[in-house]
Amino acid sequence: MTTPRARIAAALRAVGRILLVNHVEPDGDTLGSTLALALALEHLGKTVVVGSAGGVPPPFGFLPGADRIVPGVPPDAIFDAAVTMECSTLERCGAFAPAVQAAPLVITIDHHESHVAYGHLDDWDPTAAAAAEMVTDLIRELGVPLTPAMATALLVALTTDTGVFRFPSVRPGTLRLAATLMDAGAPLAEIVARIYEQRTLPAHRLLGYALLRTVVALDGAAAYATLTEGVRRAAEATGDEAAGIVGMLRQMQGVRVAMLFEEIPGGVRVSIRARDGVRAHVIAEAFGGGGHPGAAGCTLPGTLAEAIPAVLAAAAAELHRPNGTGEPWTES
């Protein structure tokens, strides 16, 4: 029986001009996966445009082909197919959503729990540790051999979405894939150093501020920190320097859900990290966001004073959801 991935490969072989779309606020998995797939499709002679409404965060500027990513749809561009990467809903495509809708063929590749089917062909696998696992298999279905550039992009994707292979989603196959990518020329040590060991001074300032002012709530099961626009200015932060802070909060003993509240123009951006059975994406979905059980995010209108109690209430509900025994639910 033909698999969904085999059908997607056949569909991609049959078209000429393809748009690959990253999700808004792009991370290493979506960027690395789209760039690897772009290289594979170009090996087959396809014309490929890679789009990211959120651009390319500085830590990922070294990705092979990162400089080719465009922030908007080129004028008068016409595509035979659009492939969305980790866009659990059409809205997650950002400014590229109209171009995706206009494409005669829409293909979605996603491993988010909150995925809503909107493509003509959907590859949804919530058990995958990263979209990179799915894309590597798709490249095999396309019959394209892995090059060092493809392998590097895929290993960036795999490394970042597994927290350098620390998250519960990692399986033996994940590690075997990492070995395969290294055999194909991907430099793991260099990837880790470039992404995790190049913090700027503004990033260190924000981290110090957040850790010093961490608040523990919900009987010690939750921790959160806030960053105002004034604090960002004082730290001379101009981009995504807050990345990684919420993960540090989750490392606290006894904390099962951590949140970082960032004041942005017109609202509050919330990053959520969870463990021990707490589902971060469920908390985020209460406010129109999404993600994975271990990592999710959302944006709320209003002020920090309004956002913090609202998200804490959603976190409390998730922490204490019943499992049929009257006790708080925990993952077995």
Assess whether 83 and 153 both reside in one domain. Answer: yes
Assess whether 215 and 178 both reside in one domain. Answer: no
Assess whether 149 and 80 both reside in one domain. Answer: yes
Whichever domain contains 237, its CATH number is 3.10.310.30
CA–CA distance, 204 with 235 (Å, rounded to integer): 9
In which region does residue 94 sit, left (phi positive, over 0), alpha (psi from -120 to 50) or beta (all else)? left
3-class SS at 21? strand
Let me know if residue 77 belongs to a domain: yes
Looking at the 3D structure of the chain, how many domains does it have?
A: 2
CA–CA distance, 236 with 75 (Å, rounded to integer): 35
Assess whether 80 and 105 both reside in one domain. Answer: yes
83: which strand partners?
A: 20, 107
pLDDT tens for 9-39 read 999 999 999 999 999 989 999 999 999 999 9
Assess whether 110 and 251 both reside in one domain. Answer: no
pLDDT tens for 114-145 read 888 999 999 999 999 999 999 999 999 999 99
Q: Give the pTM.
A: 0.87
**Residue-number span of the structural domain to which 94 is assigned:** 4-196
Nearest to 31 by CA among 96, 98, 86, 92: 86
Assess whether 184 and 248 both reside in one domain. Answer: no
pLDDT tens for 190-235 read 999 999 998 899 999 999 999 999 999 999 999 999 999 999 999 9
Assess whether 13 and 157 both reside in one domain. Answer: yes
